[in-house]
């Protein structure tokens, strides 16, 4: 398995990597953590006072996280968009566009959401206030979904939802660069609702410990449990295949996402047995050298009957076969084992803010 910079960072920050060199690295990272934490704290205090916050003319729902890496925002945004579209609300998604190589290009998440939500515009702009106003004025948008917006506080929001990945919940209890927190944990107090994602990928005792800690930090915010439910396999050409197609197959997986371990666990939950795996950095753009590397990997670790990647990777590759193997995306959907009642109450409150004559 490829050992990229992000994987090495996580191994050091978590304490998994031991030894003199790793210990010294953690000391240096702790020194660098202090000024970063101070800058983030000062910035948040300014926004807490209402400075430089802009309101737009329609409700805004922010979906974000407290840690670096993937927490499941894309399937959650998809779920929210479907909820409002079922109620005939004109929704637009606004995001910064992180990971796009050029300003005019779409990033990985945008390509994936375009595939999943063809009737929902997705505007990418580092100036998310401008993007929101364009959505309202030019697309007659009635509701903005702000993707990865928890730390983007310039745009006022009517509902702040934070996702916590159960497989890596608290960023190793340190702010970047010593850990994976984008800001101190007390920032969660701004959240109106917290969703623990990938809850089925940890033991029940671990999940209870996460819930207990969150209840101590944010005693007044509802905490919802969610899972990434395997849905089907999907080809680049749009064909869907049942998950039992993996039964008895030799499977090779590769991905370029923020939490590759969670992706592997999701596949394992179906009973499929992965023969080998290859990791690329998050938001990686596959080029000819990468195709050659995948070809060598298949030859050395295979043969494989099936290659699996994420939907986010598939929309970049746009092929049905790779290195001589059938290529599928392992598609997942957000689901709520105990119901989404607390979430739907919050969403209904937002829905009620949209004027009746706008429908």
Confirm if 118 and 85 have CB atoms less than 8 A apart.
no
Walk along the chain (359 residues) and give the pLDDT tens digit of each residue. Answer: 444 677 788 889 888 889 999 899 999 999 999 999 999 999 999 999 888 899 999 999 999 999 987 788 989 999 999 999 999 999 999 998 765 455 456 667 777 788 788 899 999 999 999 999 999 999 999 999 999 999 999 999 999 999 999 999 999 999 999 999 999 999 999 999 999 999 998 999 999 999 999 999 999 999 999 998 888 999 988 899 999 999 889 999 998 887 788 888 888 888 888 899 998 888 788 888 988 999 999 999 878 999 999 988 998 888 999 988 999 999 888 999 988 999 999 999 999 999 866 55
pLDDT of residue 238: 84
pLDDT of residue 357: 61
pLDDT of residue 323: 87
Q: In the chain, list all ranges with CATH 3.40.50.300.
A: 60-226+336-358
pLDDT of residue 212: 97
pLDDT of residue 99: 53
60-226+336-358, CATH topology level: Rossmann fold (3.40.50)
Structure pTM?
0.85
Confirm if 80 and 180 have CB atoms less than 8 A apart.
no
Compute the distance between CA of residue 230 and CA of residue 267 in angstroms, rounded to an integer.
Answer: 8
Compute the distance between CA of residue 99 and CA of residue 130 in angstroms, rounded to an integer.
Answer: 19
pLDDT of residue 4: 63
Compute the distance between CA of residue 148 and CA of residue 64 in angstroms, rounded to an integer.
Answer: 4
Query: Is 230-333 a CATH 1.10.3470 domain?
Result: no
pLDDT of residue 128: 96
């Amino acid at each position: 398995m490829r050992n990229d910079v992000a994987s090495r960072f996580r191994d050091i920050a978590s304490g998994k990597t031991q030894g003199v060199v790793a210990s010294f690295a953690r000391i240096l990272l702790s020194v660098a953590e202090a000024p970063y934490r101070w800058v983030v704290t000062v910035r948040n205090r300014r926004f807490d006072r209402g400075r430089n916050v802009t309101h737009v003319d329609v409700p805004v729902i922010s979906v974000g996280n407290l840690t670096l890496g993937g927490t499941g925002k894309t399937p959650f945004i998809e779920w929210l968009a479907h909820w409002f579209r079922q109620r005939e609300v004109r929704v637009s998604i606004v995001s910064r566009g992180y990971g796009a190589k050029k300003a005019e290009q779409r990033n990985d998440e945008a390509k994936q959401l375009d595939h999943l939500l063809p009737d929902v515009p997705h505007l990418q702009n580092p100036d998310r206030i401008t993007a929101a106003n364009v959505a309202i004025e030019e697309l007659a948008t009635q509701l903005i979904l702000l993707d990865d917006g928890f730390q983007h506080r310039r745009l006022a929001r009517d509902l702040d939802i934070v996702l916590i990945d159960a497989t890596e919940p608290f960023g190793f209890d340190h702010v970047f660069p010593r850990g994976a927190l984008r800001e101190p944990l007390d920032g969660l107090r701004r959240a109106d609702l917290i969703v623990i994602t990938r809850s089925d990928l940890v033991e029940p005792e671990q999940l209870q410990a996460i819930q207990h800690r969150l209840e101590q930090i944010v005693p007044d915010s509802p905490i919802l449990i969610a899972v990434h439910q395997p849905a089907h396999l999907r080809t680049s050409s749009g064909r869907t295949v049942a998950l039992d197609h993996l039964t008895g197959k030799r499977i090779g997986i590769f991905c370029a996402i923020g939490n590759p371990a969670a992706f592997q666990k999701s596949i394992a939950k179906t009973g499929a047995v992965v023969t080998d795996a290859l990791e690329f950095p998050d938001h990686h753009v596959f080029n000819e050298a990468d195709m050659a590397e995948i070809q060598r990997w298949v030859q050395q670790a295979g043969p494989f009957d099936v290659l699996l990647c994420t939907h986010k990777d598939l929309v970049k590759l746009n092929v049905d076969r790779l290195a001589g193997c059938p290529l599928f995306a392992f598609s997942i959907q957000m689901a709520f084992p105990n119901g989404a009642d607390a979430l739907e109450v919050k969403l209904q409150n937002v829905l009620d803010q949209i004027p009746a004559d706008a429908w």
